[in-house]
Amino acid sequence: MPKTGTYTDRVKIRASLGAFLLAAAAILSSAAPSAQAIQRSMYVSILNDAGAPVADLGPSDFLVREDNAAREVLRVAPADEPMQIAVLVDNSQAARDYIRDMRAGLESFVTDVTNGTRHEVSIVALAERPTILADVSSDRAKIMKGVNLIFEQRGSGNYLLDGIIEVSKGFKKREATRPVIVAITTEGPEFSSRRYEDVLKPLRDTGAALHVIVLGLPANDISEDARNRAAVLDEGPRTSGGRRVSLLAGSALPGELKRLAAELTHQYRVTYARPQSLIPPERVTVSATRPGMTARGTLIHEPREKGRP
């Protein structure tokens, strides 16, 4: 029987089959990491030594870690999603000498944040109990009506921790997508009588960044309420991607609010990859790879899937 071409054909078939299997394996191996990884994002502030925002950065300029494990940064873009900013203002008797500086600083802050943007601001006074002076709005004129209602309330105390709890719960109820709390408070006594854990939990649950500006000389209060307040003002900004600043003179407040407005309106949205896991990381941090820069990030809460609690 003729054998011409039989062996050659078998060799060609085997070679083609081998090439196909190699190509399929390569496709599967390259797709595996993508299938196994999920994407998360953070709102990140990155500042230079002078405290000013840094522009034109890319993925190689950020380092994201989950529980000290480095993650791959996939994309970096300017954060253009609208913010929901709640400004908490201490208008108790202890704030008497700072009211004028608060108004002046907030006038500039509101202008900078709302000018040509979709960001929303509300004003909440803290004397006696948290009280809304200006409801959430992107209309500068409406917000300024609340700023102009900031007066010292004589004989009153400061309820900052209550204010953080109520605003955090309000954010969660309204399903705020980019919540921010800016607290302007004095070193005066705290009257909320709240445990710090009960304040930090709703703050974490809503995913809000907490920025705190404290006015006046450090207090020598060693009461339980003072210790709880100190724990919130230390851990809250540090773990939420915000910051705490202490100012001895009220005259420095307008400049500080100007810097904060610039920081908030020049944040990045940083997207990174993480492996799928049943146990979420306890802590996510971001840092700058370039020297002379400081980064702070707030993890974006992912929307819950239908049917999940």
User: At 299, which amino acid appears?
Assistant: L
Compute the mean pLDDT over every residue in the chain, rounded to the nearest whole number: 88
- Cβ neighbors of 158 (< 8 A, separation 6 or more) are 90, 92, 94, 95, 126, 127, 185, 186, 188, 189, 190, 191
Give the start-to-end residue ranges of the domains of the chain: 37-79+267-299, 84-264
Q: Is the pLDDT of residue 27 over 80?
A: no
Q: Is the pLDDT of residue 19 over 90?
A: no
Q: What is the pLDDT of residue 251?
A: 96
Split at pLDDT 50, 70, 90, the class of 46 is very high
80/31 Cα distance (integer angstroms): 31
Q: What is the pLDDT of residue 303?
A: 57
pLDDT tens-digit series, residues 59-98: 999 999 999 899 999 999 999 999 999 999 999 999 999 9
34 vs 245: which has the higher pLDDT = 245
In this structure, what token pair is assigned to residue 262? 């610039």
Q: Is the pLDDT of residue 240 over 80?
A: yes
276 vs 45: which has the higher pLDDT = 45
What does the pLDDT average to over 137-148?
97
Q: What is the helix, strand, coil percentage profile of the chain, to 5?
A: 40, 30, 30
DSSP state of 94: G
Q: What is the pLDDT of residue 279?
A: 84
Whole-prediction pTM: 0.85
Q: The sheet that has 120-125: what strands, in order across it?
A: 131-137, 120-125, 84-89, 179-186, 209-215, 244-247
270/49 Cα distance (integer angstroms): 21
Q: What is the pLDDT of residue 34?
A: 44
Q: What is the pLDDT of residue 7?
A: 47
Q: What is the pLDDT of residue 305?
A: 37
What does the pLDDT average to over 244-272?
96
Q: What is the pLDDT of residue 61?
A: 97
Q: Is the pLDDT of residue 190 over 80?
A: yes
H, E, C per residue of 135-196: EEECCHHHHHHHHCCCCCCCCCCECHHHHHHHHHHHHHHHCCCCEEEEEEEECCCECCCCCH
Assigned CATH for 84-264: 3.40.50.410
- Distance from chain centroid for Cα 136: 18
What does the pLDDT average to over 261-267?
97
Q: 98-112, 196-210, 269-283: which has the minimum mean pLDDT?
A: 269-283
Q: How many CA atoms lie within 13 A of 282 on its CB side?
A: 2
Q: What is the pLDDT of residue 280?
A: 82
In this structure, what token pair is assigned to residue 193? 């009588």
277: left (phi over 0), alpha (psi -120 to 50) or beta: beta
Split at pLDDT 50, 70, 90, the class of 309 is very low
72/65 Cα distance (integer angstroms): 9
Q: 21-35, 36-50, 189-203, 283-297: which has the minimum mean pLDDT?
A: 21-35
- DSSP annotation string for 216-250: SSPP---SHHHHHHHHHHHHHHHHHT--EEEESSG
Q: 35-39, 49-53, 172-176, 258-262: which has the minimum mean pLDDT?
A: 35-39
Q: What is the pLDDT of residue 161?
A: 97
